[in-house]
Structure 1
Amino acid sequence: MQIDVVWAVVTMNEGMSNLSKTESPPSPSRRTFIRQSAALLPLVSAWPPTAMALPQTCPGARYKLIFASPYNSELWLSSPHMHQQLKHNIEDFSNGKICVEIRDKGSQGVGHDLAVQVSRGVIQGALLSVSNLSPIVPKLDILNIPFWAAESQAYLNLITSDLWQQQVTEQIRTRSDVAILLYHLPGARTLTSTRQYGKLLKTPSDIIDVVFRVPVSQVLRQFYQLCGTTPVQVAWHKAAMLAANKRFDALDPSVTGLYNGPNGLNQHIGAVSLINSVQDGWVSVINQRWLKSLPRKLRIAVWEGAEKTFVQHLSMARQAALYCQRGLLRNGATIYYPSADEMASWQEIGGYQRREWHATKVALLGKLSAFDAFVAATQVNNGLTFPT
């Protein structure tokens, strides 16, 4: 019954009525988001695993949406993947005519592989890192310039702004075969030593010459080069093995990413420094050809289900991050909150204000003032507040 109570509260969102008038995802200016309340958190965290485990079969369904993810559906307490909620909401809004089949645990692949499969229509939807969409809209990589949109509220303000929706979300939809169903906010990136290395990275002087695992992002690579590290690109699924074998000393995922990383990565974590450099953003995407093949009412149902899931996920994301922190501590890791002076030292050496970023901003956006407009968008609340 607790699930029904929470979902009933979330549906008190006037923006849902706007969705019934359009076949495209609504812009923030055309919808009213429900403000998140701390009162929802106990209800969300109390959802039992048995209630969250929904059947994969759907008697009477006319269409199937195969949704793939690298994450384990059963580990919903530690990850805001929202598998069960997305499945429930789309099936509910479609009156059972769309069946959502979740293929989790990386069984269908991860990252770039999933992006390709959704684009080609092999599967209909997937959960990806935002960076997997950078080849489609390169300006997405501005998110990896440090210390301007890393905090969850700033990131939430940005992605729900008209500017972001028009210049990024809409461009992904018009330039590719995929569309973003919803954004996920798992938390900001960290500076984390492996258990084998073990040192606490408090200030830039602690990271000089450290062998640093970086994801596929030239912007993040540049940041760690500014900090004096030796960056090495390591595939995500190999991170645990190579950490155990001392092939790198440190890495940067969010606390949620560290705890949920593949192949038992959370057993190889030493000290986590919460410098909040860059939001470790995810997106759920969908194949547009499949979506356009649906009757209009069912297309609307998909967007309504995604909208509701996005609102629900904010409380879940906060709870998951706290759960992951506790889990890492139980595993013997250290979690460190930098002082104001230490944060200022990271900002000074690699922050978005440095001239070294000018060329990147111009290359991705065309002019420096365009970046300034995005920074301004992080300061304007569009009706949603991330729980604290």
Structure 2
Amino acid sequence: MDKTRRLWISRLIKGSGCAALYTSHPLLADSPLSNEKENAMRANADYIMVYASPYSTQDHQFCPHMHHELKKNIEEMSSGRIYLDIQDTGVLGTGHELMAKVSRGAISAALVSVSNLAPAAPELDILNIPFWSSKEQDYLNLVTSDTWKNLIIKRIKSQGKLDILFHYLPGSRTVSTTMKNPNVIKRPDELQGVIFRVPNSHSLKTFYQLAEASPVDVDWLNVSRMAKSGRIHAMDPSIIGLHNGPLGLREHIGSISQIQSVYDGWMAVVSQQWYSTLPTDLKLVLKDASEKTFRQHLDSVSKIRKACTQSFEDQGTLIYTLTDDERNEWVSRFGPTNETWTAVKRNILGDDKTFEKLLEATKINNGYRISTG
């Protein structure tokens, strides 16, 4: 997106105000009148866009899913020609299942994690090499760069299955232990022998194997049950990810160590099969609405993260921030200069130079910042 369109969208956000989204949007109402209005909007729309999400619309104070904002932006900016049908709480699937449905065009669009998208878009697994793009501004710089769009997003689009609408920035991954095994993990040696839940990511599995943990691939829906029973000892989602885990996962978390290893990114993705049915003007509207939603996300996510952190502290979960010495040990042993990652980088990207270009992109601000409010 060129700078002129970015400036226009930025002004549009400032002029519209975000506060009303949480009070007046029909998604938050449950009256016959609001249902009639929704039915009328759907009937009058030219296109129905089904947006599947594992998260509850009503949990917007603790989850930056942006359901309200995305729906309002798409419908208003398309003058009602696109109706956004949000299917939340995982009713259309979660994780790998959801990703697969969007890939084959069974669902128009969805909110998925980078780790769950990696099997369909292997290039994204480069993000799961630890300690190179894990800090918030570095990750934001990267995913808004032309380098990222040209070297990674274009590869994903060329497969003819998916396109990326916008990125979510919930936070960096942690090392979090369960109530059954509440020891606080501060240094790598403390992971030895720990049964560690990992998503379907070769890079993340390699990382925990290097640390001599015992990584196990567990579907997200089963993590809470296995944590409660003691069949897994630890996991790595961000604080927001842990708080919004299914089946009350947060109740089974004993400690959270903020090691900032890998960014726990999410993405809003659209099926190319559905997207191709839109006329050119609505394709542009969808991109502009996504950009506006992304900027609103950057303005609100810090507040949501603070709410999740406070909620964990209120229930007695210990949240630990590493000392510089402790974090330096993690970085020196498992960071991107570790020889193990040389073959992984080449396998994902095809050469050595591409990773260096991506690393450079983490250091250049593209006009985006996360609000600290």
Same structural fold, with TM-score higher than 0.5 when normalized by the shorter chain: yes
| Alignment correspondent of 1:248 | 232
- 1:119-158 to structure 2, matched below 5 A, reads 119-158=103-142
| 2: CA distance, partners of 1:387 / 1:230 | 37
| Alignment correspondent of 2:68 | 84
- 1:227-306 to structure 2, matched below 5 A, reads 227-306=211-290
Query: Which letter does structure 2 place at the counterpart of 1:281?
Result: G
Q: 1:160 aligns with which of 138, 144, 152?
A: 144
| Alignment correspondent of 1:225 | 209
Residue 271 of structure 1: CA displacement? 0.6
Q: 1:328 aligns with which of 302, 312, 316?
A: 312
| 2: CA distance, partners of 1:51 / 1:351 | 46
Structure 2, unmatched stretches of 5+, are: 28-33
Residue 231 of structure 1: CA displacement? 1.1
Query: Do structure 1's residue 181 and structure 2's residue 169 form an aligned pair?
Result: no
Q: Is the 8 A contact 1:35 1:383 kept in 2?
A: no
| Alignment correspondent of 2:88 | 104
Residue 322 of structure 1: CA displacement? 1.0
Query: Do structure 1's residue 75 and structure 2's residue 59 form an aligned pair?
Result: yes
Q: 1:209 aligns with which of 193, 197, 202?
A: 193
Give me the identity figure in percent: 40
- 1:51-62 to structure 2, matched below 5 A, reads 51-54=24-27, 56-57=38-39, 58=41, 60-62=44-46
Query: Which letter does structure 2 place at the counterpart of 1:241?
Result: R
Residue 206 of structure 1: CA displacement? 1.8
Query: Which letter does structure 2 place at the counterpart of 1:266?
Result: R
Query: Do structure 1's residue 378 and structure 2's residue 362 form an aligned pair?
Result: yes
Partner of 1:293, secondary structure, is coil
Partner of 2:301, secondary structure, is helix
| 1: CA distance, partners of 2:55 / 2:318 | 24
Residue 198 of structure 1: CA displacement? 0.7
| 2: CA distance, partners of 1:326 / 1:271 | 14
| Alignment correspondent of 1:316 | 300
| 1: CA distance, partners of 2:5 / 2:129 | 29
Moved more, 171-180 or 339-348: 171-180
| Alignment correspondent of 2:329 | 345
Query: Which letter does structure 2 place at the counterpart of 1:85?
Result: E
Moved more, 186-195 or 330-339: 330-339
Q: Is the 8 A contact 1:77 1:320 kept in 2?
A: yes
Residue 115 of structure 1: CA displacement? 1.7
Residue 258 of structure 1: CA displacement? 0.3
Q: Is the 8 A contact 1:255 1:324 kept in 2?
A: yes
| 1: CA distance, partners of 2:20 / 2:307 | 14
Q: Is the 8 A contact 2:25 2:72 kept in 1?
A: no
Structure 1, unmatched stretches of 5+, are: 1-25
| 1: CA distance, partners of 2:213 / 2:304 | 30
Partner of 2:163, secondary structure, is strand
Q: 1:93 aligns with which of 77, 93, 117?
A: 77
Residues 12-51 of structure 1: per-residue CA shift (max 9 Å, x gap): xxxxxxxxxxxxxx3x677546899xxx9xx86x667443
Number of residue pairs the alignment of both structures matches: 356
| 1: CA distance, partners of 2:25 / 2:339 | 49
Residue 128 of structure 1: CA displacement? 0.6
**TM-score normalised per structure 1:** 0.87
